[in-house]
Amino acid sequence: MKHMRITTAHQSITFSRRMMLLGGAQVAVGGLLVGRMGWLAIAQNQKYQLLSESNRVQLIPVPPRRGWIIDRYGKPIAINKASFRVDLIPQQIVNGPQILARLQQLLDLAPDDMERITRELSQSRGFQPVSVADNVPYDRYAAITVRLPELPGIAASQGFTRFYPGGSTVGQLVGYVGPASAEEYERENKNPLLLIPGVKIGKEGLEKVLEPVLRGQPGGQRVEVTARGKIVKELDPKPDISGGTVQLTIDADLHEYAARRIGDQSASVVVIDVASGDILAMPSMPSFDPNNFSDGISQAEWKMLSSDDHLPLVDKTVESLYPSGSTIKPSMALALLNAGVDRKQIVNCTGAFRLGNHTFHCDRRHGPLDMDGAVVHSCDVYFYTMCLRIGAEKLAPMVRSMGFGEKFDLPFDHQRYGTIPDPEWMMRKYHRKWQGYDTVNMSIGQGMVLINPLQLGVMASRLATGKRVVPRLIKSKPVVPQAQLEVDQDHLDFIRKAMWGVVDHGTAAAAKFPIAVIQMAGKTGTAQTHNLSAGERGNYTSAVWKLRDHSLFMAFVPFDNPRYAAGTIVEHGGFGAAVAAPLVRDTLTFLYDKQKAIQALNAFEQSIGGTLEERLARKTAAWRAANGLPPLPPKQA
């Protein structure tokens, strides 16, 4: 075409042709648009309808009620109480200091609480509500709700608070609950449930370990919302599923009794039903009050708890390790019998035992003793002599089979299991040969021997039954079948008789069972923590508390047909028979005669200055005064 002259006619043809092209292109675009719309509205209609619905309908999660923890008889250990609560949503706060001041005035918050709220506000993420007050009395709650419009960032709601009727006596057992931290929120893949004010998750103890059972399934209010989050109308709700109830093998009354009977000591008690291995009580005292923890505790309270040398933040039953002291002797005696030692053979105790150039002492001169006498009077020299003769290799397996150093499958996440040493272990751990003095130390439960109080209770159960009793805490878990221990029945009968002798006329004779028809068998223990001189050791009350010996006792009742076993370790309690034995005696008495046991407790509490609550209040007040803090306001009902 290039060489041709273009005329008006040509131009007209070009125009018509190009108009057709343009028209065609327009029709094509139109077709494309109709096709696309058909694709969206017909082929993909379902997908987009679903997306449109998920836009329109939102679920406001309704937190499930947390499951209860109950004792073996159905008595509540951890339950929920209806309550009013006030929270702060950091993102929505406009004038922080002013809001806080107003809140303090409206809710009459203590300086401690203000300090906690300020701290949590500064640490929180914007979306994460900060609890201002839980369990708000109704009139205060109402005072807040009517002023909500002038208090941006404040959320007042009705909910449930965790309530532990046992207070501080169950602190170490159940742990506590609290709002989820930022890390916990991340760990659960940003579960929106954790952001709801008032939703608490288990932080410690059973509350933490049993969290999957206790939490339940959140329900929700289905609502139609705008893109900006404004609720247009409410649709039918999706019900929530409450958390499951967990029944423990614990006897709540016995547990609380034992906890109170501990008094001001730093101690723990374990009581086991020997037939099933059920743990009936396992208090560790002093403890914290989990009711206070669920709101978040103040810095002052935390400081008081963590600086206490009686370790209220440690569950001593499974977390603390102690030398077993003489409580190891019945098991040692069984090992000696097993190894062929004649129980009638006499060892003369001169009060001291020389090995190489070192002298080991006995607590007194026992004179000539056979095995029965050595257990009943807890003679160390007898066991030094006999155990050296037999050797550690034959001792350790028997002691371990009785439960020392054993791991138990229990719902606690901080368990420590201790050690029963032997030559092979010594080489592995300390790269040195086992020496005679190691055997001597081990024979009386000192040196490398470390146990926890639960293991002490288990040992008492196994000695009582001759069976491999395995402790159990969750009622729904099957009872572990109890295998026979590899011990001669004759040996067992002998050792039980010896343990009966301990209480009847031996080291624990002062702690006889107060019920005529029931006799208790047991074994005392005194575990050295520091090398005190003989003089200091004799006078327990004068030595510095921290340096005193631990006081141990294990026992079972009734002696002739064992039903219950118990173990206790009283930190720095002094001579085992003096503190630990009466504690176990009273606790076990409670199982048979509550009246008598409670009388004993009342008398005991009288002697140490009032009930647990009274003493705790005094202690707190004294601590606050000593640390320059104002006294706490009286507790609201």
- Work out how close the CB of 25 gets to other proteins at its nearest, in angstroms, rounded to a whole number: 9
Is residue 524 within 8 A of residue 563, CB to CB? The reply is: no
Count helices and strands in the chain by DSSP H and E runs = 25, 20
In angstroms, rounded to a whole number, what is the distance separating the alpha carbons of residues 325 and 327?
A: 6
Say how many C-beta atoms besides its own lie within 10 A of residue 156's C-beta: 22
In the structure encoding, which two tokens stand for residue 470, read together?
Answer: 């395995």
Pairing of strands 219-225, 57-62: antiparallel
Is residue 527 within 8 A of residue 505, CB to CB? The reply is: no
Q: Which is nearer to other proteins, 44 or 158 (CB)?
A: 44
Q: Which is nearer to other proteins, 10 or 477 (CB)?
A: 10
| Exposure b/e, 227-239, CB count within 10 A at least 16 = b | eeeeeeeeeeeee
In angstroms, rounded to a whole number, what is the distance separating the alpha carbons of residues 621 and 304?
A: 11
In the structure encoding, which two tokens stand for residue 214, read together?
Answer: 């206790």
In angstroms, rounded to a whole number, what is the distance separating the alpha carbons of residues 258 and 130?
A: 37
- Work out how close the CB of 50 gets to other proteins at its nearest, in angstroms, rounded to a whole number: 8
Say how many C-beta atoms besides its own lie within 10 A of residue 608's C-beta: 12
CA-angle at 329, arms to 328 and 331, nearest 5°: 75
In angstroms, rounded to a whole number, what is the distance separating the alpha carbons of residues 296 and 615?
A: 23
- Work out how close the CB of 90 gets to other proteins at its nearest, in angstroms, rounded to a whole number: 23
- Work out how close the CB of 35 gets to other proteins at its nearest, in angstroms, rounded to a whole number: 10
DSSP 294: T
What residue ranges bind other proteins (CB under 8 A)? Answer: 2, 5-8, 10-11, 14-16, 18-19, 22-23, 26, 29-30, 32-34, 36-38, 40-42, 44-45, 47-49, 51-52, 55-56, 224-228, 232
Q: Which is nearer to other proteins, 94 or 232 (CB)?
A: 232
Q: Which is nearer to other proteins, 222 or 512 (CB)?
A: 222
Strands (E), 547-635: 550-557, 564-570
Q: Which is nearer to other proteins, 32 or 547 (CB)?
A: 32
End-to-end CA distance of the chain: 104
Q: Which is nearer to other proteins, 15 or 430 (CB)?
A: 15
In the structure encoding, which two tokens stand for residue 353, read together?
Answer: 């035992």
Q: Which is nearer to other proteins, 229 or 631 (CB)?
A: 229
Q: Which is nearer to other proteins, 6 or 241 (CB)?
A: 6
Q: Which is nearer to other proteins, 29 or 148 (CB)?
A: 29
In angstroms, rounded to a whole number, what is the distance separating the alpha carbons of residues 487 and 480?
A: 20
Whether a cis peptide bond, with omega within 30° of 0, leads into 633 is no
- Work out how close the CB of 222 gets to other proteins at its nearest, in angstroms, rounded to a whole number: 14
Q: How many CA atoms lie within 13 A of 501 on its CB side?
A: 15
| Unique residue bearing structure tokens 């509500």 | 129
- Work out how close the CB of 33 gets to other proteins at its nearest, in angstroms, rounded to a whole number: 5
In angstroms, rounded to a whole number, what is the distance separating the alpha carbons of residues 531 and 537?
A: 9
Q: Which among 38, 322, 25, 283 is positioned nearest to 174, based on CA atoms?
A: 283
CA-angle at 217, arms to 212 and 218, nearest 5°: 130
Q: Which is nearer to other proteins, 26 or 299 (CB)?
A: 26
In angstroms, rounded to a whole number, what is the distance separating the alpha carbons of residues 465 and 472?
A: 16
- Work out how close the CB of 193 gets to other proteins at its nearest, in angstroms, rounded to a whole number: 22
Q: Which is nearer to other proteins, 50 or 427 (CB)?
A: 50
Q: Which is nearer to other proteins, 30 or 111 (CB)?
A: 30
- Work out how close the CB of 49 gets to other proteins at its nearest, in angstroms, rounded to a whole number: 5
Q: Which is nearer to other proteins, 33 or 547 (CB)?
A: 33
Say how many C-beta atoms besides its own lie within 10 A of residue 578's C-beta: 19
- Work out how close the CB of 126 gets to other proteins at its nearest, in angstroms, rounded to a whole number: 18
- Work out how close the CB of 155 gets to other proteins at its nearest, in angstroms, rounded to a whole number: 24
| Unique residue bearing structure tokens 């520091």 | 530
- Work out how close the CB of 47 gets to other proteins at its nearest, in angstroms, rounded to a whole number: 7
Q: Which is nearer to other proteins, 34 or 82 (CB)?
A: 34
Q: Which is nearer to other proteins, 22 or 622 (CB)?
A: 22
In angstroms, rounded to a whole number, what is the distance separating the alpha carbons of residues 551 and 526?
A: 5
In the structure encoding, which two tokens stand for residue 604, read together?
Answer: 């005991």
CA-angle at 614, arms to 611 and 617, nearest 5°: 145
Q: Which is nearer to other proteins, 39 or 430 (CB)?
A: 39
- Work out how close the CB of 129 gets to other proteins at its nearest, in angstroms, rounded to a whole number: 23
In angstroms, rounded to a whole number, what is the distance separating the alpha carbons of residues 42 and 572?
A: 81
Q: Which among 398, 423, 580 is positioned nearest to 491, based on CA atoms?
A: 398
Is residue 555 within 8 A of residue 565, CB to CB? The reply is: yes
DSSP 269: E
- Work out how close the CB of 192 gets to other proteins at its nearest, in angstroms, rounded to a whole number: 16
Is residue 413 within 8 A of residue 204, CB to CB? The reply is: no
- Work out how close the CB of 32 gets to other proteins at its nearest, in angstroms, rounded to a whole number: 7
- Work out how close the CB of 234 gets to other proteins at its nearest, in angstroms, rounded to a whole number: 14
In angstroms, rounded to a whole number, what is the distance separating the alpha carbons of residues 586 and 513?
A: 8
- Work out how close the CB of 94 gets to other proteins at its nearest, in angstroms, rounded to a whole number: 25
